[in-house]
């Protein structure tokens, strides 16, 4: 597979291909890639900029509220977010807390964060960055690592930095796609080179334990097709552990068993066959087709299903740096949403199916009333 976010300058460019193999660790049940591309190769120029999204903003507000009610955040909390991207979450949080600081390795994205007033260090958060932060200001007591740990081949280095700074009354919040829901809902398109780890409560507990941290609570959310929000503290913290933690670990013995992983693999082929035949039939009947959301997931889905610009003429995306480029392998041009709304196709494949309701509402409110939607995951479905 080509690295999903290596958006090409021309459709002809042959993308570099690398093995994309998902393995299951038999000791901690973690799902992980057998082959990881180096961070330099993956992130030298990063195309993922957190979109403006009603569902994301709603989620940020829920999380902030939950943490205030749970006593994890206070008006004087100093907060650090690892993998803060353009600072969308910190912008929502900053009016409610003492201070915020973002850390992110992607230069172009950090530039966007700084220009919008979110203080951000451009780096990979690890022990040396943690020491630098401790030397220059009052260390933070609340840490967030939202949807970034899976992208890090050496998560223990990041956790070493957190452990160095985290006080016993502090909290680390990790948000990640939930492996058990990915498997349950046949979300094989979550597998791409940037996602090196597919965490469960079992595997995260083990990883955190090795860094002197322990999970005290887990909340399941619908975000990005099913995510876990994990609350962790130092091993010495006096906070008690919610029943959800052992319950989910117990459930994962079944939900992430080898036989479930084998079903997940065969479901991927069922979806591929279903999507290919649906698209073939619609094209033969003279329908026009486009996609919505030039996501990394989309690159896996399209390439796995051998769908190209011959099948899908364009893919709309709100991220301006993606527009004018091409999805690697599939060679599909990425266009602005406005261009899509000006000449809507008969069918839209929702490659960003994780924003399904939001995207359908956006298309409808742009006046494209007749467009029908193809939802690929968890099973191929057409929404009229």
**Residues, the chain, total?**
384
Q: To the nearest whole angstrom, how small is the minimum distance from the Cβ of residue 202 to ligand TMP?
A: 25
Contact between 318 and ligand TMP per CB under 6 A: yes
How do beta strands 142-146 and 171-177 pair? parallel
Using CB under 6 A, pick the residue from 178, 279, 317, 376 that binds ligand TMP: 317
How do beta strands 31-33 and 22-24 pair? antiparallel
Contact between 162 and ligand TMP per CB under 6 A: no
Q: Tell me whether residue 91 or residue 362 sits nearer to ligand TMP (CB atom).
A: 362
Specify whether the backbone of 226 is left (phi greater than 0), alpha (psi in -120 to 50) or beta: left
Residue for token digits 């052992």?
Answer: 246
Q: To the nearest whole angstrom, how small is the minimum distance from the Cβ of residue 280 to ligand TMP?
A: 25
Q: Tell me whether residue 153 or residue 337 sits nearer to ligand TMP (CB atom).
A: 337
Contact between 341 and ligand TMP per CB under 6 A: no
Q: Tell me whether residue 304 or residue 355 sits nearer to ligand TMP (CB atom).
A: 355
From 167, 144, 3, select the one nearest 60 (Cα to Cα): 144
Contact between 319 and ligand TMP per CB under 6 A: yes
Contact between 85 and ligand TMP per CB under 6 A: no
Q: Tell me whether residue 58 or residue 281 sits nearer to ligand TMP (CB atom).
A: 58
For ligand TMP (CB under 6 A), the number of binding residues is 16
C-alpha span between 354 and 55 (Å, rounded): 10
Decide if 187 contacts 243 (C-beta within 8 A).
Answer: no
Interaction mask 348-367, ligand TMP, x per CB under 6 A? ----x-xx--xx--x-----
Decide if 47 contacts 293 (C-beta within 8 A).
Answer: no
Q: Tell me whether residue 300 or residue 318 sits nearer to ligand TMP (CB atom).
A: 318
Interaction mask 1-40, ligand TMP, x per CB under 6 A? ----------------------------------------
3-state helix, strand, coil in the chain (%, to 5): 40, 20, 40
Using CB under 6 A, pick the residue from 5, 29, 32, 53 that binds ligand TMP: 53
Decide if 155 contacts 197 (C-beta within 8 A).
Answer: yes
Taking contact as CB under 6 A, which single stretch among the options 68-76, 213-221, 276-284, 290-298 is the one that binds ligand TMP?
Answer: 290-298
Q: Find all residues with CB under 8 Å of 37, minimum gap 6, and list them.
A: 3, 18, 193
Q: Tell me whether residue 53 or residue 227 sits nearer to ligand TMP (CB atom).
A: 53
Contact between 301 and ligand TMP per CB under 6 A: no
Using CB under 6 A, pick the residue from 51, 98, 139, 167 that binds ligand TMP: 51
Q: Tell me whether residue 120 or residue 351 sits nearer to ligand TMP (CB atom).
A: 351
- Please provide residue 292's backbone torsions phi and psi, each rounded to the nearest 5 degrees: -130, 120
Decide if 7 contacts 326 (C-beta within 8 A).
Answer: yes
C-alpha span between 289 and 303 (Å, rounded): 16
Q: Tell me whether residue 227 or residue 234 sits nearer to ligand TMP (CB atom).
A: 227
Specify whether the backbone of 184 is left (phi greater than 0), alpha (psi in -120 to 50) or beta: alpha
Residue for token digits 């000006």?
Answer: 342
Interaction site with ligand TMP (CB under 6 A): 51, 53, 293-296, 317-319, 337, 352, 354-355, 358-359, 362
């Amino acid at each position: 597979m080509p690295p999903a976010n290596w958006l090409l300058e021309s459709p002809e460019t042959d993308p570099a291909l690398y093995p994309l193999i998902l393995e299951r660790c038999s000791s901690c049940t973690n799902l992980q890639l057998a082959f990881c591309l180096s961070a330099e190769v993956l992130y030298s120029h990063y195309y993922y900029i957190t979109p403006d999204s009603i569902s994301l903003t709603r989620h940020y507000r829920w999380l902030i509220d939950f943490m205030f009610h749970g006593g994890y955040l206070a008006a004087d909390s100093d907060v650090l977010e690892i993998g803060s991207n353009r600072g969308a979450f910190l912008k929502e949080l900053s009016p409610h807390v003492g201070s915020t600081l973002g850390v992110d390795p992607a230069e172009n994205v950090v530039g966007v964060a700084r220009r919008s007033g979110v203080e951000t260090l451009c780096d990979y958060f690890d022990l040396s960055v943690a020491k630098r932060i401790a030397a220059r200001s009052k260390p933070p007591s609340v840490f967030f690592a939202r949807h970034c740990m899976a992208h890090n081949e050496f998560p223990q280095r990041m956790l070493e930095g957190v452990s160095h700074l985290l006080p016993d009354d502090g909290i680390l919040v990790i948000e990640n796609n939930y492996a058990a829901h990915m498997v349950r809902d046949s979300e094989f398109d979550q597998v791409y080179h940037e996602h090196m780890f597919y965490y469960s409560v079992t595997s995260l507990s083990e990883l955190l334990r090795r860094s002197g941290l322990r999970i005290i609570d887990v909340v399941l959310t619908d975000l990005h097709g099913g995510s876990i929000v994990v609350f962790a503290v130092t091993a010495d913290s006096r906070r008690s552990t919610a029943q959800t933690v052992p319950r989910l670990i117990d459930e994962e013995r079944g939900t992430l068993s080898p036989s479930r992983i084998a079903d997940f693999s065969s479901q991927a082929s069922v979806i591929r066959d279903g999507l290919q035949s649906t698209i073939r039939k619609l094209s033969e009947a003279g329908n026009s087709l486009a996609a919505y959301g030039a996501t990394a997931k989309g690159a896996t889905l399209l390439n796995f299903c051998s769908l190209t610009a011959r099948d899908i003429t364009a893919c709309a995306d709100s991220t301006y740096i993606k527009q004018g480029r091409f999805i690697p392998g599939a060679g599909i041009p990425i266009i602005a949403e406005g261009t899509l709304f000006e000449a809507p196709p008969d069918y839209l494949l929702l490659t960003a199916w994780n924003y399904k309701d939001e995207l359908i509402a956006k298309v409808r409110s742009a006046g494209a009333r007749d467009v029908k939607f193809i939802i690929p995951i968890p099973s191929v479905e057409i929404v009229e």
